[in-house]
Chains A and B, each alone.
Chain A
Amino acid sequence: QQQVKQSPQSLIVQKGGISIINCAYENTAFDYFPWYQQFPGKGPALLIAIRPDVSEKKEGRFTISFNKSAKQFSLHIMDSQPGDSATYFCAASIGGYALNFGKGTSLLVTP
């Protein structure tokens, strides 16, 4: 059973545009929501993470928006660049234990 649902499955954005990836969860016990970036043949790299007591967190071009009542969170990539082309995974965990991953979003940023 997929505890974290991620959409869209794939996304094409022009250079300079905004990439938006959404995730939804059901388990209200989740208290940690990270986003990971993965390039082919590499391990996932932690991009940014948020706790449920905060509605938004920004780090450089990456922003997480968190809606606790809707049980949704999203990743916004501003000024998207071709180098951002990768697979992005949202995840959720309880107390820093095992991550429950979404199915991933393949992002392609065109020049």
Chain B
Amino acid sequence: GAVVSQHPSWVICKSGTSVKIECRSLDFQATTMFWYRQFPKQSLMLMATSNEGSKATYEQGVEKDKFLINHASLTLSTLTVTSAHPEDSSFYICSATDRVASYEQYFGPGTRLTVT
């Protein structure tokens, strides 16, 4: 299957600072990328959908000014958590798909964010 990478794999930051997470599709062009959040022993919760060159579409209840998403190219999307607080601590996972070619969606390894 296709490979999606995320960087960093884990990050610790202080409350009030911002953190940027990168998601890259390594061997295919991702027309659409998704960002999910997962709490321990729970399912994945969709945060937003981004298409290359377009503004992201956020799910209800997700603050777009807090979770900034940029999909600047067909292989890179970034999620910036601004003014992070302890309640933002979570496992953030991106996924990517080339919807033109298939419906298959491939996930990155995830980023563990801890806000102290």
B93 at the A/B interface (Cβ < 8 Å)?
A: yes
Chain B, 9-42, contact with A by CB distance < 8 Å: what is the 0/1 string? 0000000000000000000000010100000011
Using CB atoms, name the residue of chain A closest to B108. A43
B96 to chain A, nearest CB (A): 11
Chain B interface residue count, CB cutoff 8 Å, equals 26
- Taking the closest CB of chain A, its distance from the CB of B24, in whole angstroms, is 13
Summarize A's interface: helix, strand, loop or mixed. Answer: loop
How far does the Cβ of A20 sit from chain B's closest Cβ, in whole Å? 19
A45 to chain B, nearest CB (A): 7
Q: How many A-B residue pairs have CB under 8 A?
A: 62
Q: Are B1 and A89 in contact (CB under 8 A)?
A: no
Q: Which of B44, B99, B108 contacts A89 (CB 8 A)?
A: B44
Residues of B within 8 A of A106 (CB): 41
Given contacts A97-B32, A97-B49, A101-B44, A41 and B108 within 8 Å (CB-CB) = no
Q: Is A93 an interface residue (CB 8 A)?
A: yes
Say whether A98 contacts B112, CB under 8 Å: no
**Smallest CB-CB separation from A31: which chain B residue?**
B103
B102 at the A interface (CB under 8 A)? yes
Whether A95 contacts B107 by the Cβ 8 Å rule is no
In angstroms, Cα B32 to Cα A26, docked, is 25
17 contacts between A and B (CB under 8 A): A42-B110, A43-B95, A44-B44, A44-B107, A45-B1, A45-B107, A46-B107, A49-B103, A95-B99, A96-B103, A98-B34, A99-B44, A99-B46, A101-B43, A102-B43, A104-B42, A104-B43
Measured CB to CB, the residues of A under 8 A from B are 31-32, 34, 36, 41-46, 49, 51, 89, 93, 95-99, 101-104, 106
Q: Which 3 A-B pairs have the closest CB atoms?
A: A96-B103, A43-B107, A96-B99
